[in-house]
Amino acid sequence: MLKLSEDALARRLLMPVAVIHAFEEGMVRIRASTLHDIGGILKVPMRFFFDGYMASADNDV
């Protein structure tokens, strides 16, 4: 399910590996459509990328 190298993901998305790396490092914002495509490639629902986000946001209040 989640075992995919940056290089393999970049090839599937037709993007340079540097862009995938920038996504992972938080240097570049990822478009919703790209996140959707990545979810499809990894076979995970969109909520996978946000698990725990609301819980940590609630603690910051």
Whether the Cβ atoms of residue 7 and residue 15 lie closer than 8 Å to each other: no
* pLDDT at residue 51, rounded to an integer: 83
Residue 23: domain span: 6-59
1 is a domain residue: no
17 is a domain residue: yes
* pLDDT at residue 16, rounded to an integer: 97
Whether the Cβ atoms of residue 48 and residue 6 lie closer than 8 Å to each other: no
Which has more pLDDT, 38 or 50?
Answer: 38
Number of domains the chain is built from: 1
Model confidence, pTM: 0.77
* pLDDT at residue 2, rounded to an integer: 73
54 is a domain residue: yes
Give the residue-averaged pLDDT of 17-31. Answer: 94
52 is a domain residue: yes
* pLDDT at residue 35, rounded to an integer: 94
